[in-house]
Amino acid sequence: MSGPFRQPHEPMKLSISTKLFAAVLASVLFVILSMGLATGWSFGRGFLGYINEQALLRMEPVLPRLAQAYAHEGNWEFIRDNPRRWFDIMRPEPEEQSDQHKLKLPMTSDLTGALFRIALLDREKRLVIGYPAIGDDALLRPIEVAGDTVGWLAVSPFQSVTEAGGERFFQYQLRTSLAVGMASLLLAMLIAWWISRTLLDPVKRVAAATHRLAAGQYESRVAVASSDEVGQLARDFNQLAYTLERNEQMRREFMADVSHELRTPLSVLRGELEAIEDGVRQLDRHSMQSLQGEVAMLSKLVDDLYELSLADVGALTYRKSACSLNELLQASVAMFQERCLAARLKVELELPAQSLPLDADPKRLQQLFSNLLENALRYTDAGGLLRIRASAEGENLRVDFLDSGPGVEADQLPRLFERFYRGEASRNRASGGAGLGLAICHSIALAHGGSLAADHSPLGGLWLTLRLPGKA
C-alpha cells in the first residue's frame, strides 16, 4: 500500500526585506568582482605592457651596433664571456643621453630595468651573453647583416622576471580586495537594514492592514508617518478602508430598511386578511380600499427600488428631447393642486416671462418634480408655504423649492439624498415616506448632467436647489 498522501512542498516565500538585502548584496559583490577584474586587466595589459614596450624601444638603438660589431668580427666569439664589451655595446650613445638629458628624463634602462633582462642569442637562438633565464615568452628582435639574420636580441617580459614579486603583489591585492569586500558587505547590510526599517516597515504595516481589510475588518487603519509616496499609500489605504466601512454600514442599513419597509405593509395585509378570514371584518368596499392602499404602497416601494438599481448600473433609460422647463413645472404643480389645497399648503410658482428651454427627458423631470412636491406635501406643517422659483443662471437653469417649517438639522442635510434616510425629528414614518424619493431625484439630476443640493430655507423649512444644463 502506498503511504499517506503528502502535499507537495510549497516554494519558500521570501519577504521583501530578504529580496532587497539579496539584491543589494549581489550588486555590491558584482561591483567588487568587476573592479578586481578590471584592476587585474589594467595592471597586466596597461602597466606591464607599458614596461615591456619601453624595453623594446630600449633594444632598437642596440641592434645596429650589434650588427656592425658582428660584421667586423665575423662571429659572436668576441663578446662571449666578455661582459665589459657587452655593456659597452648596450650603453646608450652620447647623443641618446644628450636627448634624454635635454628632455629631463631618466634613462630608459633605469625606468624599465631592460638592461638586466636583455640577452644576445645566435642565429640558432642559443645564449651568447646576457640574461641567462630567457624563456619561450621572450620578446625577440632579429640582428641582420647583409640581409642575413645572424642573431637575436631577446628581452624577457617584465612579469616573468618579477614572478615572486608579482605573487606578493597578488597576495597583497587579494587581502586588500577581501577587506574592501567585507567592508562593502557590511555597508550593504547596514543600507538594507536602514531601507527595511525606514521604507519597508510602513509598507509591511499597509500589507498587514490590507490582509485584515480583506478579512472583513473594515475599521483597520494605518498610521501616516511621512508625506512621501509611502505616506500617500497609507492615506489612500485609510480612505479606502473608510469607504468600505461606510459602504458596509450603508449596505446593512439598506437591507434593514428594505426589510422594514416591506414588512410593514405585508404585516398590515396579513392582519387584514386574517381578520376577514376570521370574520372579524367584512370583505366590503372599505376593507378592499385598505388592502389596495397597502398593495399600492408595496408597488411604489418596489418600483422605486427597481429604478434606483437601474440608475446604479446605468441602465435607466432616458429619452431626451427639446422641452420647456416652464411648462413642466406648471403641469407638475397642477397635478398636486387639489392635494395641496386639502393639506392647506399654499404653493407659489414664480416663472420668468421668457421660456427656459432645455434638452431633457420630460417624463423623468416630471417624476423628479412630483417627488419634490410629494416631499414638501408630506413634511410641511399644515398652513405652510411652498415657493417654487425657476430662473436662468449662466448656461444652466435653476429651480428652487423652498418650504416652511419644520426644518432639518444641519448634520442631516448631507444625508437627505441617501436611500431610506429620514430625519427622525420631524420627517418620520408617520408621514408615509420610505426615504427613497430624494435619492431618485438625485439620480435623475445626475443623469441629466445637473445637480441637486439641500440647504436651510429662509421660510423655516428645507431649500432644495436643482441645476440643469440649458439648451445650447
- If asked whether residues 240 and 306 sit together in one domain, one would say yes
How far CA 92 is from CA of 69, 112, 130, in Å, comes to 15, 14, 16
Domain boundary among 265, 285, 312: 312
Q: Using an 8 Å Cβ cutoff, are 449 and 374 in contact? A: no
105 and 86 assigned to the same domain? yes
pLDDT at 156: 78
Burial class for 468, CB neighbours closer than 10 Å (0-12, 13-18, 19+): buried
82 and 142 share one domain: yes
Euclidean distance between CA atoms 62 and 96, whole angstroms: 11
For the entire predicted model, the pTM comes to 0.48
Residue 426 belongs to some domain of the structure: yes
141 and 275: one domain? no
Asked if the structure places residue 74 within a domain, the reply is yes
Which element (helix H / strand E) includes 101? Answer: helix 94-102
Instruction: Evaluate whether residue 3 is within a structural domain.
Output: no
Task: Give yes or no: residues 439 and 401 share one domain.
Answer: yes
What confidence score (pLDDT) does residue 40 get?
63
Q: What is the pLDDT of residue 50?
A: 66
Residue whose C-alpha is closest to residue 139's, from 162, 165, 118, 168: 118
Whether residue 358 lies inside any domain: the answer is yes
**Pairing outcome for strands 139-145 and 148-155:** antiparallel
Claim to verify: residue 335 and residue 425 sit in the same structural domain: yes
- Together in a domain, 288 and 258: yes
Residue 47 placed within a domain:
no
Looking at 279, 312, 345, the residue that finishes a domain is 312
Q: Which residue ranges in the chain fall short of pLDDT 70?
A: 1-17, 21, 36, 39-52, 55, 58, 93-115, 158-170, 173-174, 196, 257, 311-316, 420-435, 472
C-alpha 113/C-alpha 12 separation (Å) is: 61
Boundary (domain end) residue, out of 161, 178, 203: 161
13 belongs to a structural domain: no
According to DSSP, the residues that pair with 151 across neighbouring strands are: 122, 143
CATH of the domain at 297: 1.10.287.130
Same domain as 416, residue 292: no
374 with 463, same domain: the answer is: yes
pLDDT at 164: 45
Residue 240, SS3?
A: helix
Q: What is the pLDDT of residue 186?
A: 82
> Which H or E run contains 259?
helix 229-277
For the chain, what is the domain count?
Answer: 3
| Bridge partner list, 464 | 401, 454
Q: What is the pLDDT of residues 176-186, one digit of tens each?
A: 777 877 887 78
List CB contacts of 430: < 8 A, sequence separation 6 or more.
Answer: none
Q: Has residue 55 been placed in a domain? A: no
Q: Are residues 243 and 330 in the same domain?
A: no
345 in the same domain as 271: no
Whether 337 and 413 share a structural domain: yes
Range of the domain at 432: 318-469
Q: What is the pLDDT of residue 46?
A: 56
Q: How confident is the prediction for the chain on average, in pLDDT?
A: 78
What distance lies between CA 244 and its chain's CA centroid?
Answer: 21
Q: Is residue 388 situated within a structural domain? A: yes
